[in-house]
Amino acid sequence: MCGIVGAVSEREVQGILLEGLRRLEYRGYDSAGMAVMDGGNVVQRAREVGKVAALADAIGAKVLEGAVGIAHTRWATHGEPSRLNAHPHMSGDKLAIVHNGIIENYQDLRDELKAEGFEFTSQTDTEVVAHLIEKHYREQSNLKDAVKSAIGRLRGAYALAVIHADEPDHLVVCREGSPLVIGVGIGENFIASDQLALLPVTDRFMFLEEGDIADIRRDRVEIHDREGNIVERPVTRFEHGADSADKGEYRHFMLKEIHEQPRVIKATMEGRLTDTSVLEQALGTSAGKLLENVRHVQIIACGTSFHAGMVARYWIEDLAGVPCSVEVASEFRYRKHVIQPDTLFLCISQSGETADTLAALRQAKKAGFRAALAICNVPGSSLVRESDLVIMTQAGPEIGVASTKAFTTQLTALLIFTLALARHNGLSTEAEAEIVEAIHLLPGQVDQVLALDGEIAEMSRAFMDKHHSLFLGRGSQFPVALEGALKLKEISYIHAEAYPAGELKHGPLALVDSEMPVVTVAPNNDLLEKLKSNLEEVRARGGELFVFADKVADVKAQDGIHVMQLPSVHPITAPIVYTVPLQLLSYHVAVLKGTDVDQPRNLAKSVTVE
């Protein structure tokens, strides 16, 4: 995921931009660059492949002087990682631009601009935007107007920051589908892909809305909405202190991380979706080729990541019609495999350093799987380095040992991947649009679930003295039940088992009595009626039920049945929403029991040994 930083100041901005890039490193990148104007009618530029440190070394020798500049970390989507493909891109020697996102119609625009005499030096979609803005600038002689005209022709997702040496005292930014925040300083202003990049220079931020264009000057910021009206966007203070590894107002990291989910889910989808479709290129330069002719998917992971893989199996078979197997890495690595032709090997890992997952990957490569895709949260990790294609989750650092936000962002990334795969396997544009629209609703729906925190805390009292519990789900909610049970056992030390509800009468029903709370996730899907019959079976044996149900599911609270109503959600995205109340339930039970929530006994965050 590319990262953007920019500054308009009175002082030299090179140091601010470099520090901003370092702080965006967590997003993952393969090259970095910067362009600065010194008021002297030229734009100076430096670009390097590799780390921000390599860019800093390269600049070190020549020092880019100037008080207005833009910088970028690139995650290759069009064209390999190289100095020529790194941002900023320029049109002539006066206009420079950085871009995070994907321009879908770049090829048509490139042909058109080439025919008009513009020369291209890179394979990127971004260079097209640079020339398109320059073309309009020649007609309009006003950078903001030129940007507005140019973006009217773009299809896709973008956050852009543009400078022009003929207008040396400002920069112009805009966003559509990719994040962009303005940092408000005193006598200077900044822009970046996220707040973390700018914390050394300010703690006051304005968030641009979709379609906004902003003119950023040293002493003022002017924002225009899509219709061209001048609009005010509220200035907010950064909430959780300057350090993301800080608990802020929360009692535990786990609670903080649960509450971060609406934001990080949004960050994981940003730049990868339009309103109605998946931007396949945003998954990487080789995504299209790699997803073609995939006949089978083999998912490997451990712990919570394994549960994400189990949910993904339902999606992959349902939406893409591609057979999918899921296995824990520690089992996979020690057995013989029958490899089906054209199998995509997919590893899921928060840390990217889990020993069993890495061993399975290395073994799969030797065994001749077609290609390896990783879903991972830590850029630069071993898994990321050793995979052919990587989809980074944007959960940010996860400190609590019990994984929460990493799981829901893994699911978000897996659903986006599934849609890209499904498109190669006949999913209609209407069906894709329906699910993409449902994905866009997720941050708001998770927020609604978080608002139930108080009620869930109340509910958790019933678990405090219990020694055993049972979690039930059907279909893609079965892995959600597994994850709910894992959370409860990890942090409260209560024995928790999960079953597909239909298996109840094949064993676990024998355990059900008033001392065994039974937790059930019941979204409104085509298995709801069957699930309700399973609940009757529990109730008839005196079991106490705790049901998280869609408000239209018509599960009535009564003696022995506690019902928590959740927002109505699309059946495909329901596993993401229904995970959240189970996280909160476990958290509150653990707090009541007084366990070490963030560092439960005997467990480690990253299991780097076998």
Pairing mode, if any, of strands 518-522 and 495-500? unpaired
The DSSP string of 153-171 is T--EEEEEEEEETTSTTEE
Q: Can you state the angle between helices 405-423 and 303-315, rounded to 10 degrees?
A: 30
Which helix (H) or strand (E) segment holds residue 36: the answer is strand 31-37
CA dihedral 160, 166, 169, 170 (to 10 degrees): -20
Position 514: which residue type? S
Nearer to ligand G6P, 179 or 400 (CB): 400
CA atoms of 160 and 191, how far apart (whole Å): 10
Structural contact between residues 373 and 387, judged by C-beta atoms closer than 8 angstroms? yes
Residues at the interface with ligand G6P (CB under 6 A): 302-305, 349-351, 354, 357, 401, 403, 603, 605-607
The minimum distance between CB 396 and ligand G6P, in angstroms, equals 14
Structural contact between residues 113 and 134, judged by C-beta atoms closer than 8 angstroms? no
CA atoms of 565 and 440, how far apart (whole Å): 21
Q: Is residue 530 flagged as an active site residue? A: no
Nearer to ligand G6P, 271 or 352 (CB): 352
Nearer to ligand G6P, 42 or 359 (CB): 359
Nearer to ligand G6P, 44 or 350 (CB): 350
What residues form DSSP beta bridges with 180? none
The minimum distance between CB 271 and ligand G6P, in angstroms, equals 23
The minimum distance between CB 486 and ligand G6P, in angstroms, equals 8
The minimum distance between CB 558 and ligand G6P, in angstroms, equals 36
Backbone φ, ψ for residue 109 (5° rounding): -65, -40
Nearer to ligand G6P, 233 or 605 (CB): 605
What residues form DSSP beta bridges with 97? 89, 162
The minimum distance between CB 403 and ligand G6P, in angstroms, equals 4
Structural contact between residues 21 and 55, judged by C-beta atoms closer than 8 angstroms? yes
Could you tell me which residues come within 8 angstroms of residue 468 by beta carbon, excluding any fewer than 6 positions away? 494, 495, 496, 497, 511, 515, 516
Q: Can you state the angle between helices 261-269 and 442-450, rounded to 10 degrees?
A: 170
Q: Is residue 94 flagged as an active site residue? A: no
Pairing mode, if any, of strands 371-376 and 389-392? parallel
Nearer to ligand G6P, 205 or 587 (CB): 587
Nearer to ligand G6P, 73 or 586 (CB): 586
Q: How many helices (H) and strands (E) does the chain have?
A: 19, 25
CA atoms of 283 and 417, how far apart (whole Å): 8
**Catalytic annotation, pick one of 365, 489, 593, 605:** 605
**Catalytic annotation, pick one of 2, 302, 324, 347:** 2
Nearer to ligand G6P, 377 or 476 (CB): 377
Nearer to ligand G6P, 401 or 564 (CB): 401
The minimum distance between CB 3 and ligand G6P, in angstroms, equals 23
Structural contact between residues 443 and 262, judged by C-beta atoms closer than 8 angstroms? yes
Which helix (H) or strand (E) segment holds residue 34: the answer is strand 31-37
The minimum distance between CB 398 and ligand G6P, in angstroms, equals 8
Query: H/E/C letters for each residue in 201-243?
Result: CCCEEEECCCCCEEEEECCCEEEECCCCCEECCCEEECCCCCC
Could you tell me which residues come within 8 angstroms of residue 314 by beta carbon, excluding any fewer than 6 positions away? 475, 476, 479
The minimum distance between CB 303 and ligand G6P, in angstroms, equals 3
The minimum distance between CB 479 and ligand G6P, in angstroms, equals 13
CA atoms of 381 and 27, how far apart (whole Å): 12
Query: Closest residue to ligand G6P, Cβ-based?
Result: 303
The minimum distance between CB 430 and ligand G6P, in angstroms, equals 35
Cβ neighbours around 243 below 10 Å, total: 10
Nearer to ligand G6P, 156 or 575 (CB): 575
Looking at the annotation, which residues are catalytic?
2, 605
